[in-house]
A and B are shown apart, each in its own frame.
Chain A
């Protein structure tokens, strides 16, 4: 939606969208790099992820400033106001995603000298990551295209990621029980898995924001939840 009488307003909104898209691209890259660093035990890549994070943070600040200025200058109404509030919220979620990826990268550095318990666990984590990445990509596309149906698909599908996280937790418990020497690494992996699962939550937040931007009210009704790790800390079998 464009063609304001004041062309400069269109430019402001366009700039905001562009910055959010740029942030989204950076966040996606941070996620895949951080997990790659974990899989390949690549400390250099991990350090690169950590070094990228300030760029994302700076973009978020820029979006906040631009939004505040646009609100003060244009006093936007209705759909325009929601555009700006939407950009602010999405930027917030992307910044958090960046932080979570940075945290994974830090854990890669912390576990550089640890024994690697199982490729299978790492593969589970990798699989979860690719799922989160595809969700994030889909929801960022939905944001860019203002595609409500696509955003709702993401919103409804978070339970799959949650379920994977729960099953990974169970597996990690088994390894820890088998050999206490695995504990340090497994705890780190557990946090990594939880971080990835949180990224998925941020993707659903973005889906909610897209809904709000288009419809003007929050999504009502419960979201499917598959994450039971908060309550189910003991292994199911063991």
Chain B
């Protein structure tokens, strides 16, 4: 029995040690503002990593570096290195559109396209040429909706507008849309902040299921959410990565005073 437990523990340790995203000395400037300072972190595969910290601490900025979303901001300048599976994502030869298919993103406010539920999910696979015919596309769309835990609720209205769904359903539609193109990493920027507790619980449950197949990075202002859904937590403050480690450790015995003050609600 002990041997079995040990084996399980070893497997868990092995899985945890598999690093998906490596960031080294990442700095971001928005014009004169130094928004992110020398951030280095290893993000494990098949786990949920939560970024927490007060507003303006750089956590969303860093999240947006992982799929080069900051490229779209003219005054943003990113230095340092970020690798996914050992591949430098800031390599000039890299196709950013392909990168964003590998690294999906879900935003704070659900933002379905003004199209049908079906088209919302089908859009990505279609422009990436991932489905040869209608049957293939149907399979991808239905499969993604199922994995996003939405299919049962929308199966009779696949042709209705996505914007007609409830907030929580719209957010799961956005998750289905993100996973339809078969990403490896899913970035979530406060995905539940516009949702009620029930819809939030569904998304959290979904994250727990999705991490079997994806690497998930979530920015959240809810510490309880970070504690519930993530395996690792990173605390950012004033553009600096202050502390990073196993979630249970960050929320029970943080090492840095700033982390302790923030998670216990003592920040002035």
Interface residues of A (CB under 8 A from B): 3-6, 9, 74-82, 215-217
Contact = CB atoms under 8 A, between A and B. Distances in A.
A6 B268 CA distance: 11
Interface of B: 223-224, 227, 251-254, 260, 263-268
Contacts of B252: 77-78, 81-82, 216
Shortest 6 CB-CB contacts between residues of A and residues of B:
A216-B253, A77-B263, A80-B264, A5-B265, A4-B265, A77-B251
Contact of B264 (A76, A215, A216, A217): A76
In the complex, which of the residues B253, B267, B268 has the most CB atoms of chain A within 10 Å of its own CB atom?
B253
Contacts of A217: 253
Nearest to A5: B265
B265 A78 contact: no
B224 A78 contact: no
Given A75-B224, A77-B227, A78-B251, A3 B266 contact: yes
Contact of A78 (B260, B267, B268): B260
A88 to B, nearest CB: 16
B246 to A, nearest CB: 13
6 contacts: A3-B266, A5-B265, A77-B223, A78-B252, A78-B253, A78-B264
Contact of B263 (A9, A78, A215): A78
B265 A9 contact: yes
A215 B254 CA distance: 11
A79 B260 contact: yes
A217 B223 CA distance: 21
Contacts of A77: 223, 227, 251-252, 263-264
Given A74-B265, A78-B253, 15 more contacts: A5-B266, A5-B268, A75-B223, A75-B224, A76-B264, A77-B223, A77-B251, A77-B252, A78-B251, A78-B254, A78-B264, A80-B264, A81-B252, A216-B252, A216-B253
A4 B253 contact: no
A5 B260 contact: no
Nearest to A82: B252
A5 B267 contact: yes
B228 to A, nearest CB: 11
B261 to A, nearest CB: 9
A5 B262 CA distance: 10
B253 A6 contact: no
B55 to A, nearest CB: 14
Given A75-B224, A217-B253, A6 B265 contact: yes
